[in-house]
């Protein structure tokens, strides 16, 4: 509807952030407040085993499975739930529009610890604060409150899709409570490439913090500035140096899919139920009853 597809270009992105039509620079919605919210970020992260295997192998099939899982979750689960506020004629309600404008940015590393990053494949899907209302025949600001509150549910849907796609590629999957890892990669190897998580846990323990939400806030407060000191090839050499020969061989065997999966991870209900319960807890703990 806005003539946008393919690679994100700076002019179109900047115009949308300024509430302008990317095609001709005209104002998009009726109002442009100085304090308007430009957009909202939906982040999709993969399990550490997926990040590590992609980083060391460069396997495009893993990357494509990841991007496909993100795209399907956005199009099939999040976009259909998009709403806008209705205030005309004294009304005070929400209307489902079912359309969104978003840009996908793929990142492959974590925030650095002591100046060095770890493998961390994730996507930032930036959704512009705009949606088209077919009833009023105009562009309006979006209503993102419920979408953001349902973040754990959407992440669970994404993870199940990703697990299924990786199994379709021939990888074995080890089921966790609400998540998974690629089978055949030792837990101590994964821990070695999770230094950011280890650092946050250490700081949290020192401060006596156990609440997951407060740990999340702690992560934002303690992160180092992004570093571009090492190239991708140099990073892969650094990561490879953390492995013993037997561990390199084990990872290579996992990547070659030499062992057929023993069981399928297609228990969507379990992952989604866990995420729904997480959303319910969040609403109960919110002062207004909603988040």
User: Contact 235/110 with Cβ under 8 angstroms?
Assistant: no
pTM above 0.85, yes or no: no
182: phi then psi, degrees, rounded to nearest 5: -70, 130
**Does the pLDDT at position 263 exceed 70?**
no
With CA atoms as reference, report the closest residue to 73 among 127, 149, 153, 182: 153
Mean pLDDT of the chain: 85
Alpha-carbon span 1 to 25, nearest angstrom: 15
Alpha-carbon span 99 to 97, nearest angstrom: 6
User: Contact 174/181 with Cβ under 8 angstroms?
Assistant: yes
Residue boundaries of the structural domains of the chain:
38-285
Q: Which residues pair with 27 in a beta bridge?
A: 20
| 129-164 pLDDT, tens digit each | 999 999 999 999 999 999 999 999 999 999 999 999
Q: What is the reported pLDDT for 290? A: 33
Alpha-carbon span 107 to 101, nearest angstrom: 20
Q: What is the reported pLDDT for 108? A: 95
Q: Which residues pair with 94 in a beta bridge?
A: 85
What angle do helix axes 195-207 and 212-222 make, rounded to 10 degrees? 110
Percent of the chain with pLDDT over 90: 65
Cα 227 to chain centroid distance, Å, stands at 21
User: Contact 183/171 with Cβ under 8 angstroms?
Assistant: yes
Q: What is the reported pLDDT for 189? A: 95
The CA-based angle 230-244-52, given to 5 degrees, is 50
Could you tell me the end-to-end alpha-carbon distance of the chain, in angstroms, rounded to an integer?
31
**Does the pLDDT at position 265 exceed 90?**
no
User: Contact 113/23 with Cβ under 8 angstroms?
Assistant: no
| 196-247 pLDDT, tens digit each | 766 555 555 666 777 766 656 555 555 556 666 788 999 999 999 999 999 9
243-255 mean pLDDT? 96
| 42-75 pLDDT, tens digit each | 999 999 999 999 999 999 999 999 999 999 999 9
Q: What are the tokens at 9?
A: 């270009």
Q: What is the reported pLDDT for 258? A: 78
Q: What is the reported pLDDT for 208? A: 73
User: Contact 269/135 with Cβ under 8 angstroms?
Assistant: no
User: Contact 81/145 with Cβ under 8 angstroms?
Assistant: no
Alpha-carbon span 261 to 22, nearest angstrom: 47
| 74-94 pLDDT, tens digit each | 999 999 999 999 987 778 899
User: Contact 113/224 with Cβ under 8 angstroms?
Assistant: yes
């Amino acid at each position: 509807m806005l003539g946008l597809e393919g690679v994100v270009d700076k002019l179109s992105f900047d115009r949308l952030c300024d509430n302008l039509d990317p095609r001709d620079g005209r104002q998009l919605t009726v109002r442009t407040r100085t304090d308007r919210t430009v957009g909202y970020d939906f982040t999709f992260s993969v399990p550490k085993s997926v990040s590590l295997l992609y980083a060391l192998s460069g396997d495009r099939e893993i990357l494509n499975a990841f991007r496909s899982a993100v795209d399907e979750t956005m199009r099939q689960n999040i976009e259909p739930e998009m709403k806008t506020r209705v205030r005309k004629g004294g009304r005070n309600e929400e209307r489902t529009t079912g359309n969104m404008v978003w840009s996908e940015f793929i990142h492959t590393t974590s925030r650095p610890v002591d100046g060095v990053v770890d493998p961390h494949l994730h996507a930032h899907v930036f959704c512009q604060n705009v949606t088209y209302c077919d009833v009023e025949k105009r562009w309006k600001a979006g209503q993102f409150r419920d979408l953001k509150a349902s973040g754990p549910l959407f992440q669970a849907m994404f993870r199940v899709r990703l697990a299924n796609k990786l199994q379709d590629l021939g990888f074995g999957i080890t089921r966790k409570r609400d998540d998974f890892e690629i089978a055949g990669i030792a837990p101590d190897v994964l821990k070695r490439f999770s230094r950011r998580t280890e650092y946050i846990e250490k700081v949290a323990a020192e401060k006596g913090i156990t609440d997951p939400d407060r740990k999340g806030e702690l992560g934002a407060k303690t992160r180092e500035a992004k570093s571009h000191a090492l190239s991708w090839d140099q990073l892969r050499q650094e990561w490879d140096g953390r492995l013993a020969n037997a561990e390199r061989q084990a990872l290579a065997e996992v990547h070659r899919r030499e062992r057929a999966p023993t069981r399928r991870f297609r228990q969507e209900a379990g992952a989604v139920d866990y995420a729904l319960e997480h959303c319910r807890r969040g609403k109960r703990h919110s002062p207004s009853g909603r988040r």
